[in-house]
Amino acid sequence: MPDTRTISAYEDDMNDAVREAAALLASGEIVAVPTETVYGLAADAFNPEAVAKVFAAKERPDFDPLIVHIAAYRELAEVAEMPEELESVVKSLAGAFWPGPLTILLPKSAKVPDLVTSGLPTVAVRQSANVIFRAIGRALGRPIAAPSANRFGRISPTSASAVEKELGGRIPLIVDGGACNQGIESTIISIELGETRPLIRVLRAGPVTKEELQKFGKVVIEKRKADAPDAPGQLAHHYAPETPLLMFDKPSDFKPEPDKRYGLISYRGDEKAGYLHLHEWELVEELSPGSGKLQEAAIRLFYVMRMMDEEGLDAIVVEPVSEVGLGVAIMDRLRKASVKGG
């Protein structure tokens, strides 16, 4: 097991951190790096031996494909074969949401190793908005394969300290770029030609919402849970704490067992939601205290889940949020993290 170092990429330290991370990646190593969504575990996307280290460190099954990150739109041609009929809509989507938390599924280039795409003919591509991540990509000069920097199935990390808890002793370096400002993983879409407008299938809900995508085509949110996914983020059970996470259709469905310690994740601490006075909770944490802002809830979601997971509770109960806008992505993560598995 390697010793894991954490280096700062704040302000004056950024250039040194970028150079060190890029040098490690160029040598075939893996590095945890910040993005705007969650921290990623990066490898040179064109180096299958390095990509294999990502799967090993995460204990990730090889049937679950990775996202490939490019530093600029012009690099898309290196990793994907653009269908002529989709070029216009892809350019429009990239112009609106790149750099940013949107991942697009496209036919893969022969340069992308099969291990990255789990043998599938498609590759998931995005351009991160995080300036540190993009700088590392430019310094490396090659696309970066980077799933979330956590053990497979566990809570995604939104800080360098969370990465250390997940992968300390398994990777050589963590680049500390501060807390992620989106907090949940990117939206993943595929695109097809429709009768009158492009058909956009949302394969994983995320910060780019259905409402935003509707400007570019007809949007369908895929509900299928896949044991053999055709894109990242499709498995039925994921993002889970070690403590059982319970979510109910209505508050009265919660039946506490005697002598068990329960914590509550509340959306905004509103008594009208029906959970606060349902039980003598050991701990209550709010995703968006008082205000009920979905963006704040999304940013705090994995942080609060991880904090509750470290409290030694017997179970964590979570209030659902409204499935509008970002609420769709939040509920997707909660369903996959719950012991019901969706």
Per domain, the residue ranges of the chain are: 5-77+111-176, 245-337
Per-residue pLDDT of the chain (342 residues; tens, 9 = 90+): 579 999 999 888 999 999 999 999 999 999 999 999 999 999 999 999 999 999 999 999 999 999 999 999 999 999 999 999 999 999 999 999 999 999 999 999 999 999 999 999 999 999 999 999 999 999 999 999 999 999 999 999 999 999 999 999 999 999 999 999 999 999 999 999 988 899 999 999 999 999 999 999 999 998 765 567 888 887 777 888 999 999 998 999 999 999 999 999 999 999 999 999 999 999 999 999 988 899 999 999 999 999 999 999 999 999 999 999 999 999 999 999 998 543
Beta strands (DSSP E) in the chain are: 5-8, 31-33, 40-44, 67-69, 102-107, 122-126, 144-145, 173-176, 187-192, 199-204, 218-221, 245-247, 262-266, 283-286, 315-318
pLDDT score, position 135: 97
The CATH T-level fold of domain 245-337 is: Rossmann fold (3.40.50)
- Alpha-carbon distances of 281 from 110, 117, 234, 248, 313, rounded to whole Å: 54, 44, 33, 16, 10
Residues with Cβ < 8 Å from 305, sequence gap 6 or more? 155, 239, 241, 245, 265, 316, 337
Residue whose token pair is 């992968």: 167
The CATH T-level fold of domain 5-77+111-176 is: DHBP synthase (3.90.870)
